[in-house]
Amino acid sequence: MEEKPKYGQPKEFDPDFKGPIQNRGCTDIICCIFFIVAIVGYVAVGILAWTHGDPRKVIYPTDSLGQYCGQGKLEKQPLLFYFNMMKCASPMVLLEFQCPTPQVCVEKCPDRTLTLVTAIGNTQDWEYYKSYCRADPGTKVSSFLKGNATIVMEGRQVAMKIFEDYTKSWYWILICLLVAVVLSLIFIVLLRYLAGIMVWVMIFMVIAVVACGIAHCSIKYVNLKDTPGSNITLQQLGFQPDFSLYLHIRQSWLAFIIILAILEVIIIILLIFLRKRIRIAVQLMKEASRAVGYVMSSLFYPIFTFLLLTIVIVYWGVTAVFLSTSSEPVYKVFNETDCPHARQTCDPENFTLSTMKRDCPRSECLFAFYGGETPYHKYLIILQFYNIFLFFWCANFVTALGQMTLAGAFASYYWAPNKPSDMPAYPLCASLGRSLRYHTGSLAFGSLILAIVQIIRVLLEYIDHKLKGAENKFAKFLLCCLKCCFWCLEKFIKFMNRNAYIMVAIYGKNFCRSARDAFFLLMRNVIRVVVLDKVTDFILFLGKLLIVGLVGIFAFFFFSGHTDAFKGATPSLHYYWVPILTVLVGSYLIAHGFFSVYAMCVDTLFLCFLEDLERNDGSPKRAYLMSENLLNSSLMVGQSYICASALLEIFFDLSQCLTSVSQPYVTI
């Protein structure tokens, strides 16, 4: 009796299999129906939130009477003035979410200090401060600040400066991002024709760019040696909104040197150990380059995914804002002395004639927070939870749709005997249509599993935030372990979902069957997975790193004004790090968008390649569909597999020998 191979049975020859273009039916219909019902409920939650919510509560500040500054009759008074900011340090703020001091809307913030003594003796200051006084509805007596007028405007000023920087530099930011697009396209095109050369050029350029960064930081570190104030530490400087101040400190440049040096050493060590495997992975990248060349429209598919994700994010954000602002204003009694009605709910319109005011003459009815006692307000937290869960589910669904669409297009390339004549006329559109028509349920199923894990991670983060001040060390340790485990679980599910979608795109089976087949297929070829697939991912990561580095260096020298060549064109900015960070993040997203298509192509062709090896044997009747170079690479990987297996057997024999030798001593 023959022994079955480990990790499942390899595929047998199927003369009827013709790749992804075949008759197929709908998969995971129950989950598809469940997803549609959830979407309908999501729309209902949005409508309910929009009918009750009021975004002005988070956009505009609210005074002590619950009025919006800058709106209605207070249109010309957009700023909020606190009578005594020191009272915000009271523990009552943590309970009521409101400072126990009157707050009024003003046209502009005061630039003078007024005390009771100066108000009596100085008529000019008194006239100036009349506009900041609040009239009591019952007695019509003006009250004014008995202390220093304090207002915190630093955050608002920083935000305004950042906004001004964006208005001055937005077109230069777009130019830098356009450069990132051009560089990404150039790299993809060059990989199409010069994959072997480009991979090594890319690797050495990454090493050179990081080395240039180390050299530049070292020069800055040395030049600041005798500069006054450059030897203070980052801890002494503290947080500063102007990030350029950190560049005048030697410790900042030393930190940059250490970070870049560690990155350089890691890259070099990895390249030394992967130098032979990179040669093998180049062949897979050449095959992927040909596939991308035949399906050039795939390079622009991330734009469609980005638009869908934008719709999902905007809908979630708007719904979250309306849900959080759909409560009603709650007013409570505040009093500086003991009062039996302190912190009780009150009505500001009738407060002056109420028993509360009569019992506590110095008390005030001030706006406390937004809340409510209706059934809608009681279940508001559940609606917020549903909003977050559906956001994860829909975002994962959009990502999964993109992965399955690209997988179907590239699989149609691989399984076409005669390329491109046997390929569909529009492979990307055909794959998108198949995914939506037949496999919406499978996409929803995989996205649901991932969304459940992600929402559990959100709950763990919420619990961790609540337990920050707790003294229970065991609870903190347990929570840390759970967070780590669910992080690993999320990464594993993402990996399995990606490969399951590829198998669904090829065979048209349901999600669970496809995930099982993909898992066993990868386990039967685990050495090839490490040698080919993961090394290719590392090379593509270096490509993204190179594009971000090149565009980031250009943006740094342009916006910082450190180069004379750009001084005439460089805009005058408050914080030049604002456009630089924007360019770095945008360049990475652009490069990731282009290279993610390439990575999906590599993953799809890799699974098709493994299926080809198990289905066919190279004979005329069962000929391989892979290229000759890729076949030769697979033989090299097979030799690596034999060597690795031999090493594992030797290690196992040695461990058995050591165990048998040590067993008598253990017994004694």
- Give the residue, 170 or 127, on which the prediction is more confident: 170
Query: Mean pLDDT across the stretch 377-402?
Result: 88
Question: What is the C-alpha separation between 546 and 183, in angstroms, rounded?
Answer: 10
Contacts of 334 (CB under 8 A, 6+ apart): 100, 342, 343, 363, 364, 365, 366
pLDDT, averaged across the chain = 75
What pLDDT shows up at residue 168? 78
Amino acid, res. 585: V
What pLDDT shows up at residue 236? 66
Query: Mean pLDDT across the stretch 423-445?
Result: 90
- Give the residue, 393 or 296, on which the prediction is more confident: 393
- Per-residue pLDDT of 367-385, as tens digits, reads 666 666 666 677 787 888 8
Question: What is the C-alpha separation between 27 and 434, in angstroms, rounded?
Answer: 11
Question: What is the C-alpha separation between 387 and 48, in angstroms, rounded?
Answer: 12
| Helix-strand-coil split of the chain, %, nearest 5 | 70, 5, 25
Question: What 3-state DSSP class applies to 368?
Answer: strand
Residue carrying structure tokens 């000929």: 623
Q: 82 forms bridges with which residues in the sheet?
A: 103
Is the pLDDT confidence value at 14 over 70? no
Is the pLDDT confidence value at 653 over 90? no
Highest mean pLDDT among 37-46, 334-343, 407-416 belongs to 37-46
What pLDDT shows up at residue 453? 93
Question: What is the C-alpha separation between 601 and 194, in angstroms, rounded?
Answer: 17
Upper half-sphere CA count for residue 253 (Cβ side, 13 Å) = 22
Are 462 and 371 in contact by the 8 Å Cβ rule? The answer is: no
Residue 398: pLDDT band by 50, 70, 90 thresholds?
very high
Residue 643: pLDDT band by 50, 70, 90 thresholds?
very low
Q: Is the pTM of this model over 0.85?
A: no
- Per-residue pLDDT of 80-139, as tens digits, reads 777 665 556 554 444 444 566 677 777 776 666 555 555 555 566 666 666 666 544 433
Query: Mean pLDDT across the stretch 590-613?
Result: 84
Query: CB pairs under 8 A, 24+ apart, for 415-421?
Result: 415/18, 415/19, 415/20, 415/21, 415/506, 415/608, 415/625, 416/19, 417/625, 419/290, 419/294, 420/294
Query: Mean pLDDT across the stretch 198-225?
Result: 83
The domain segmentation of the chain, as residue ranges, is 29-53+268-322+381-662, 60-131, 328-371
Is the pLDDT confidence value at 590 over 80? yes
Contacts of 90 (CB under 8 A, 6+ apart): 99, 100
What pLDDT shows up at residue 629? 64
Highest mean pLDDT among 151-155, 247-251, 517-521 belongs to 517-521
